[in-house]
Amino acid sequence: MGRTDVRCLVAEPDSRPERLQRVAAELGARFAVVDALGMSLAPAPVAGGGYAHLLQTVADGFATCLGEPAPAD
């Protein structure tokens, strides 16, 4: 493959990530599974975050894949 600036490849939890993992390895990129729909999250009480928790989880997944540390909770 030619030179790219790809740093991160992202898959959904219900996908088969093997192909993306191979492509990421060939590109020297990181790979992450990000659950943008929150299907794997346990139900949270409204006061416990709900949608805000989902957004934080998605943001943390991208931050980790892009090589930036996740903020402390």
CATH number of the CATH domain containing 19: 3.40.50.1980
Domain presence at residue 70? no
Length, in residues, of the chain: 73
User: Could you give the CA distance from residue 19 to residue 23 in angstroms, rounded to a whole number?
Assistant: 6
- Please state, as a whole number, how many other Cβ atoms lie within 10 Å of the Cβ of residue 12: 12
Q: Is the pLDDT of residue 59 over 90?
A: yes
As a whole number, mean pLDDT of residues 33-51 equals: 75
Q: Where are the alpha helices (DSSP H) in the chain?
A: 18-27, 51-65
What percent of the chain is predicted at pLDDT more than 70?
78
- Residue-number span of the structural domain to which 18 is assigned: 8-65
* pLDDT confidence band for 3 (50 / 70 / 90): low
Domain presence at residue 56? yes
- Please state, as a whole number, how many other Cβ atoms lie within 10 Å of the Cβ of residue 24: 21
Instruction: Say what the pLDDT of residue 2 is.
Output: 53
Q: What is the pLDDT of residues 5-30, one digit of tens each?
A: 888 999 998 888 888 899 999 988 99
Q: Structurally, how many domains does the chain consist of?
A: 1
User: Could you give the CA distance from residue 38 to residue 57 in angstroms, rounded to a whole number?
Assistant: 9
